[in-house]
């Protein structure tokens, strides 16, 4: 069977058998992850069937983020995927089972499993790229709504006393931040100096900028690459389209460069 035929089979199967009330991990999510993975694996000597299979089944077991067994979900998904392949896809090559299992197990941030194969790294990166752009924001709203929790901790909005969930692409030694234009002082139309308590707000925002510069410098010293995606690129009248944003992010990830920013004008150093 060709790769396209395998995709059609998997797409039909999940459409008929996969039932998930979590809108952040629905069938459309599987399809988007596979589409992104195809871009990431372009020109690389990798097993496309392993990547395709892992993209379509990586969240076949999806537990809520507050579930006590959350960190085990990817292992459960890997086990279930093997059972599905044996039962419903008897022609799937068994020698690929271990690679598919590992790619599924390693995709999860909660599991803390380091990818050991290029296929696993591509699936992990493609899945994590879902946290960016309009899709990423929609998934945040969906998850927060399903759990009945606030979108952020109002007692510590800048994460001064807790770990920040930085977006990390280990294979590319890359870190991506999404910055609010007001809170991180971006010179664009979304930043407006407050008319009241001006000194207080400018001091607070100034401290954010100092911390941002410190964090970026430290990451660069440690050999990481740093990309900042500004809020104005994600929303507002001048925002980038999802395709344009995705292309700019992919351009930076695959094209090199230590530090860059994406805003309404595109990508620049």
Residue of 184, 186, 263, 264 marked active site: 184
Of residues 47, 212, 215, 258, which has the active-site annotation?
Answer: 212
Closest to 220 (Cα-Cα) out of 263, 174, 262, 251: 174
Classified as helix, coil or strand, 185 is coil
142: helix, strand or coil: helix
Strand duo 174-179 + 167-169: pairing: antiparallel
Residue 238, Cβ neighbours under 10 Å: how many?
13
Name the catalytic one among 160, 166, 198, 241. Answer: 166
Q: Which of 53, 82, 178, 264 is catalytic?
A: 178
Return d(Cα 72, Cα 248) in angstroms, integer.
Answer: 34
Q: Known catalytic residue: 212?
A: yes
**Would you call 22 a catalytic residue per the annotation?**
no
4 in active site: no
CA dihedral 76, 122, 109, 170 (to 10 degrees): 150
Reply yes or no on whether 47 is catalytic. no
Over the Cα atoms of the chain, what is R_g? 20
Name the residues annotated as catalytic: 166, 178, 184, 212
């Amino acid at each position: 069977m060709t790769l396209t035929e395998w995709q059609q089979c998997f797409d039909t199967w999940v459409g008929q058998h996969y039932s998930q009330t979590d809108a952040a991990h629905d069938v459309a999510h599987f399809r988007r992850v596979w589409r992104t993975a195809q871009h990431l694996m372009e020109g690389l000597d990798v097993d496309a069937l392993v990547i395709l299979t892992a993209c379509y089944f990586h969240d076949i077991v999806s537990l809520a983020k507050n579930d006590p067994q959350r960190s085990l979900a990817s292992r459960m998904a890997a086990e279930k995927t093997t059972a599905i392949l044996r039962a419903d896809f008897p022609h799937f090559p068994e020698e690929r089972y271990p690679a598919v299992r590992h790619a599924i197990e390693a995709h999860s941030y909660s599991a803390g499993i380091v990818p050991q194969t290029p296929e696993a790294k591509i699936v992990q990166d493609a899945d994590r790229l879902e946290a960016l752009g309009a899709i990423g924001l929609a998934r945040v709203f969906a998850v927060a709504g399903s759990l009945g929790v606030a979108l952020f901790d109002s007692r510590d909005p800048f994460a001064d006393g807790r770990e920040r969930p930085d977006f990390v692409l280990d294979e590319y030694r890359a870190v991506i931040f999404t910055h609010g234009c007001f809170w991180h002082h971006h010179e664009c139309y979304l930043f407006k100096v407050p008319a009241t308590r001006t000194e207080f707000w400018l001091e607070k925002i100034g401290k954010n900028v100092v911390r941002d510069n410190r964090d970026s410098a430290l990451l660069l010293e440690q050999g990481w690459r740093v990309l900042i995606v500004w809020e104005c690129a994600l929303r507002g009248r001048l925002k980038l389209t999802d395709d344009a944003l995705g292309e700019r992010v992919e351009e930076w990830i695959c094209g090199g460069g230590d530090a860059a920013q994406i805003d309404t004008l595109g990508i620049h150093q």
